Chains A and B, each alone.
Chain A
Amino acid sequence: MAKKLMKGAEAIGEAAIRAGCRLFFGYPITPQNEIPEYLSHRLPQVGGTFVQAESEVAASNMLYGAAGTGERVFTSSSSPGISLMQEAISYMAGSQLPVVIVNIMRAGPGLGGILPAQGDYLQSTKGGGHGDYRLLVLAPNSVQEAADLVIEAFDLADYYRNPVLVVGDGLIGQMMEPVEFKDDYAPVRPLPPKTWASTGHTGGEKPRSIINSLFLDPEVLEKHNQALQAKYAEMEKNEIRYEGYGLDGDYDVLIVAYGTVARVCQTAMEELEADGVRVAMIRPISLYPYPSQAVREAAEKASGVLVVELSAGQMIEDVRLALEGRRPIHFHGRTGGMLATPEEIVDKVRRIVEGRGGKS
C-alpha cells in the first residue's frame, strides 16, 4: 500500500484492524477519542464489533471476557481511564489473556489536564494493578512506529498470552504523518494455537476451559506465579527494543528519552553537533522489558547522562538501576502538559559538558 497521511489516532485504529482485531470496547476520554471514533465506523465495515461501554471498568472487563474466547481484542484510553482499568488488567495478566491496550497519556495526577505527558511510566512498567505481574510495554515516537507496534502488539500478546500496553502521548494521537501499511499482514513469528480459549466444551472433545486467576491453594498459586515470572524472564530475553542515535561515534553526553520527547531531543542534538558538542542518544522502545544493558553500555562511553521526560522523573529510576552509579545522571523533565523544548535540552547538555549539570 502507498503511503497515506494519517492522524496518529486513526493509524492506531487502522493498525488494530490490519492485525485482524474485530472487537473494540472503550469509553471516551480526551486525548484519544479519535481512536474509538475511527473504529466505530471502521469495525462495522469489516464485520467487527464496536461497543461503547458505560465506563473504563466495564470496558476492560468486556475486554477480559472477549479475550477469553481467543479473539483479538483491543481498547484504548488515556491516563484516568487506564487507572480504572487496572483491576481488569491484573485479572487479565493473572489469567494470561492476550489483549492490546493503548494509553495516550495525559498530564496528571488526578484529572490533571489533557495535554501530553509521560507520567504513567511507573504505572505502566512496574505493575499498576495488584499482584506480581508485568505488561509488555511499547512506546512509539512516530505515527508509523505507533501503527507498526500496535500490529506487532497483537502478535506479542498472542505469543506470550499476556496483555501488551502501547503508550504514547497526545502528540502521537494528534500528529499527522505519512503511514504505510503492508498489503499482506502476516504474524512475525508462528503463534501457538489458542487451545485455552473458552468457546464451549463441545461434548468433551475439548477439555473444559476455565479462564481464571483464582488459586486458593498457596502452593498452586505460587507455581502459577513462578510460571508467570518465567514468562516475563523470556520477554526480558527476547523483547528488548531500542534505537540508538550516534552511539557508534564518540560522545561526552548520552541522552536517554522515549516517545515523542526523543524527537525533540534529536532536534537539540542537531544544534549541539553543529556547535561541536559531542552527544548521542538512546531511545528505549520497549519500556518493559527495559533495555538496561544497552543503556549501560552506551552510558559507559559518555562522561554524563541526561534523562529527558515529560514527567517529574520516572524512567530515570530504570536508568539509575541500569547504570548502578557508573555515571552521573542528570534530569530534565516538564510536567502538567508543558513540552520540553530543544532550547532547554541544548542548554542542559551544554551545562553538563561545562560541569554545571546540576544534581545527579
Chain B
Amino acid sequence: MIQTVFQKPDSLASVITHYCPGCTHGVIHRMVGEVLDELGVRDRTVGVSPVGCSVLAYNYFETDFHEASHGRAPAVATGIKRARPDLIVFAYQGDGDLASIGMGEIIHCANRGEKITVIFVNNAIYGMTGGQMAPTTMPNQVATTCPMGRDVEQAGWPIRMAELVSALRTPAYVARASSHSPLHTVQAKAMIRRAFQYQVEGTCFSMVEVLSTCPTNWGLPPNEADRWLEEQMMPYYPLGVFKTPDGRDRAPKPLPADE
C-alpha cells in the first residue's frame, strides 16, 4: 500500500518557482507554508511580497497577496492589518528591501507594534538586480558594486537587523535563524511558527530574520554557498531569539559552528 509520508503544504501553490537551483528562498517559503497550514490560518492570511527575488511570492502561496513597492511591505502590511485586524498578515522581504530602502518602514512598523509577521530573508546581497552590495553584505565580500570587496570605511559595517529591531522598547518577538541546513531549518521553522502564533494570539509584532544563500550572485555552487553562509555569515549574524513580548530581551544563543 502506498502511503503519503511527505507532501507539499496546502498553503503553497503547485507551481515551479523561478528561484535558482540551491537558493534557499524556496526552503523559507516552505517553512512559512507549513506554519500557515499547521495554524490553520491560510484562509484568512494575506501575504505581502517585496521587490526582490521573491517579488513573485504571490504566485507561490495559496493565500491572498499584495505586491508592495520596494521596501514598503511593512507599511502595506500595516494598512491591511489596520483595515482588517482579523486577517493574518505577513510581509516577506529581502535585505535590500527591508534593511536599505525600507529601513524606515520596518523600524516604525515594529515600533508601533503592528500585529503582523515579517519574514526577513538575509542573503547578504541584492539578488534580483544582479549581485550588488546590500546593507548586509559582509566586510570584504565582493559584489558588483564593490568589486574590491565591501570596504567598511566607505560603506559601513553590515547592519544586524534583528539586533536593531529588538532594541526598540515596544514588545515584540524578534529572532534570527538560518536556512542552509536541515538542522537549522528545524530551528527556523520553530521560530517562524512562534512568530505567527504571536500574531494569531494578537500579542505583538514579530520578525524572524532568516539567513539565506544566493549561490548565483555569490558565485558558488549550492553546497559551497551553504558552507560560506555558515563560516562567513553566522559568526557575524548570531542565531537566536533576541526579544520576546514578555519584555525580557534575551541574549542570542549561537549554535556551535560545527553542529
Interface positions of A (Cβ within 8 A of B): 23, 25, 49, 51, 53-55, 57-59, 61-69, 71, 73, 87-88, 91, 95, 198-203, 208-214
* Contact bitstring B58-74, A, C-beta under 8 A = 1, else 0: 10001111111100100
Q: Are B104 and A71 in contact (CB under 8 A)?
A: no
In the complex, the answer to whether A198 meets B72 with C-beta atoms within 8 Å is: no
The secondary-structure label for the interface of chain A is: mixed
A-contacting residues, B35-76, CB 8 Å: 42-46, 48, 55-56, 58, 62-69, 72, 75-76
Find out whether the CB atom of B75 lies under 8 angstroms from the CB atom of A198: no
- Chain B residues within 8 Å of A, Cβ to Cβ: 42-46, 48, 55-56, 58, 62-69, 72, 75-84, 87, 104-105, 107-108, 112
Of B48, B83, B104, B112, which one neighbours A23 at CB under 8 angstroms? B83
Report the separation of the CA atoms of residues A209 and B44 in the bound assembly, to the nearest whole angstrom. Answer: 12
| CB pair B78 A200 closer than 8 Å | no
Given A58-B72, A200-B43, does the pair A65, B79 have CB atoms closer than 8 Å? yes
**Interface pair A57/B104, CB less than 8 Å apart:** yes
Chain B, residue nearest A208 (CB): B64
In Å, the complex CA distance between A71 and B104 comes to: 25
Q: Is the CB of B83 within 8 A of A71?
A: yes
Task: Supply 9 A–B pairs (Cβ within 8 Å), ascending by A.
Answer: A51-B78, A61-B69, A64-B75, A66-B80, A68-B66, A200-B44, A201-B42, A208-B62, A213-B67
Interface residue SS majority, chain B: helix
Q: Which residues of B contact A23 (CB under 8 A)?
A: 79, 82-83
B63 touches A201 (CB 8 A): yes
Q: In the complex, A54 Cα to B112 Cα: how many Å?
A: 10
Given contacts A51-B82, A71-B83, contact A65 B66 (CB under 8 A): yes
Shortest distance between the CB of A148 and any CB in chain B (Å)? 26
Tell me the bound Cα distance from A49 to B84 in angstroms.
11
Q: B105 near A61 (CB under 8 angstroms)?
A: yes
Interface centre among B45, B84, B108 (most CB of A within 10 A): B84
Are B69 and A210 in contact, CB atoms less than 8 angstroms apart? no
